[in-house]
A and B are shown apart, each in its own frame.
Chain A
Amino acid sequence: MSTPILSVKNLTVNFGGFTAVDDLSFNLYPGQKLAIVGESGSGKSVSALTIMQLVTLGTRAEIAEGEILFTKSDGSVIDLLKTSEADMRKIRGNDIAMIFQEPLTSLNPVFTTGDQVVEAVQLHQGLDRDAAQARALEMFERVRIPRPEKVLNDFPHQLSGGMRQRVMIAMALSCDPRVLIADEPTTALDVTIQAQILGLMRELQKDTGSAVMMITHDMGVVAEFADDIVVMRNSKLVEQGSVLDIFSKPQARYTQALLAAVPQLGSMTGEDNPRRFDLIEVPEDRK
């Protein structure tokens, strides 16, 4: 493969006395679909927020060590951990965009959805308001929002959760980011909507060719979306490899247990609601 667009090397993140991420390394290549998998508290979301340099907001005690190397569009490589806040702002939303877990609360309730997309477009692409508006409309069409002209002028509370997540995706992709970080984008949605959103993301990824880093706890999502997988547990990397390899020959007992917990196709026939996963009890893997 070519040079990685994002290369995380020996990343360690400490909050006060707590180590949220411990010596994590992985690469993300252009066009790659990478899944970061782990249970809640495994450090996967903190890793994502650290890449965006958003983890310091509100908590000042945090210290990140290691390197997060990002290859800019002109080919130069910078360490995001050493990038100034002003330069980070030019990268956020433009080169690296992010989608969050809670579509219900991730959009600002007092601005129209259109304004929130237009704001990002104007900021990074220097378009005037009309051009930005047109771009927002185009994005809404691409994420298959029905009656996009109307939804542009709607406020978030007027839309369903699935629609709001489509707006979030439209916003994230509006500036053609080269990396998209999706933090559990389908977890808060109904099962049928989950499948639609996942399908949409797969399709858009194929069109745009952006690299996607999908953070999830759900092996089903991994199987459906990702090429490669990084498994994390208790702030540490457990194993990584291609989805094919890991699913057929999981090395770590933790990964085996995670895979065993996924319901088999058809096992839920006749049930109304998705079954809750059993808690996984596995002893620590020895390296």
Chain B
Amino acid sequence: MLRTIFEDLNVSKFLTQRIAYGLLLMVGVVILNFFLIRLAPGDPALVIAGEMGGATEEVLTSIREEYGLDKPILIQLGLYLGNLATGDLGFSFFFNQPVASLIADRIGPTILLVLTAQFLSVAIGVFLGVIAARNPRGVISGFVSVFAAIGYAVPVFWTGIMLIILFAAVFPIFPVEGMSSVKLRDASIFIRTLDIMHHLVLPAFTLAIIYLAQYARLCRASMLEVLASDYVRTAHAKGLTERKVLFKHALRNAALPILTVAGLQFGNLISGALLVETVFNWPGMGRLAFDSILRRDYPTILGVLFFASAMVVVANILTDLSYRWADPRLRGKS
């Protein structure tokens, strides 16, 4: 598979273009961040220090100096970009730590949560969608439609809380808080990995449920369209089993719109993770954003916004790449 991607000479050119464009978007995010601080009412130095940080006059002076707040605005922007380029995202006066290290500690759990939820929702959603498409008027098809409508309408944080009630009070089989158990701190890596997976179950499912239903519905519609196509009839005429026709010939084509939507949903998934992390006390960037927003800790908030946007940019590039692999008609175009 990988070989076919790289055999295609245009991929490297395409990839270069996409990465360059992604970097441009990120510069855009930084400039936006910069202006957001200036647009906020009040003294920018105070905003940077954090309104609740109780910053002293000395701290404010050092901030004015570092960010060049007495200089023209374009020079300020240049300083800001320069600081970022060296990996300096600023300093959180609330956490008393550089923002970069705050985020470095928390980006892993967020990626783990988001990718697990993405995997669960796509895998289960596609499976349900294929089964539903086999019999568009059947029970599973009806279930998928109803479930999709419900999944769309339920607030994700509320689902999380209801699951906590269910699993904390009624079936205490999954942990409802945090990412690891304190008592297993000194256990082997294997045990600790299992422990994290155990903690991951509820947050990941909470986040997956909304999107799962949407993928199931989309996959059903897409499969119904593909199943009516001539090449599916050809596949049957070859004597292939129904499973092979459905999961090989039909699904490979029906998956294309799902891939597009999965890519577009990534930003929403991160938004959802923000709420889910807050509900389950998951130690990720969402939880960090929530804490820093309550404290008006702007450098941290903007750092989180920067990294969350970067994750979306990376996800978009990966989506485009996989789309080119999945649809041979797009290969060779740039």
Contacts and interface: CB of A to CB of B under 8 A. Distances in A.
B2 interface: no
B240 A107 contact: no
Interface string A87-115: 01111111001101010011111111000
A263 B233 CA distance: 34
B228 interface: yes
A54 B232 CA distance: 11
Nearest to B250: A108
Contact of A58 (B227, B235, B252, B326): B227
Interface string B309-330: 0000000000000000011110
A110 B329 CA distance: 8
Contacts, number: 74
A192 B235 CA distance: 28
Contact of A108 (B237, B241, B249, B326): B249
B238 interface: yes
A109 B253 contact: yes
B95 interface: no
Interface residues of B, number: 21
A120 B30 CA distance: 55
A52 interface: yes
Nearest to B235: A108
Given A100-B230, A106-B230, A109-B329, A93 B253 contact: no
Interface in A123-154: 123-124
A65 interface: no
Contact of A92 (B238, B326, B327): B238
A89 B240 contact: yes
A155 interface: yes
Contacts of B252: 108, 110-111
A54 B240 contact: no
A265 interface: no
Nearest to A124: B239
B152 interface: no
A98 B237 contact: yes
Nearest to A108: B231
Contact of A89 (B228, B230, B241, B326): B241
B228 A119 contact: no
A54 B231 contact: no
A171 interface: yes
Secondary structure of the B contact surface, majority rule: helix
B236 interface: yes
Contact of B328 (A89, A94, A155): A155
Interface string B25-42: 000000000000000000
Contact of A107 (B231, B241, B329): B231
A123 B238 contact: yes
B141 to A, nearest CB: 14
A157 interface: yes
Nearest to B236: A54
Interface residues of A, number: 31
A88 B237 CA distance: 10
B131 to A, nearest CB: 16
A90 B328 contact: no
A106 B233 contact: yes
Contacts of A88: 239
Interface string B215-250: 000000000000111110111111111000000010
Interface in B243-282: 249, 252-253
A100 B229 CA distance: 12
Contacts of B227: 57-58
A108 B239 contact: no
A264 B150 CA distance: 66
Contact of A57 (B236, B238, B239, B326): B236
A91 B249 contact: no
B229 A93 contact: no
Nearest to B137: A60
Interface string A14-53: 0000000000000000000000000000000000000010
A157 B237 contact: no
A123 B239 contact: yes
A110 B326 contact: yes
A181 to B, nearest CB: 9
B329 A102 contact: no
Contacts of B249: 108, 111
Given A110-B328, A155-B329, A105 B229 contact: yes
9 contacts: A90-B239, A93-B238, A100-B233, A109-B231, A109-B253, A110-B252, A110-B326, A112-B328, A120-B239
Interface of B: 227-231, 233-241, 249, 252-253, 326-329
Interface of A: 52, 54, 57-58, 88-94, 97-98, 100, 102, 105-112, 119-120, 123-124, 155, 157, 168, 171
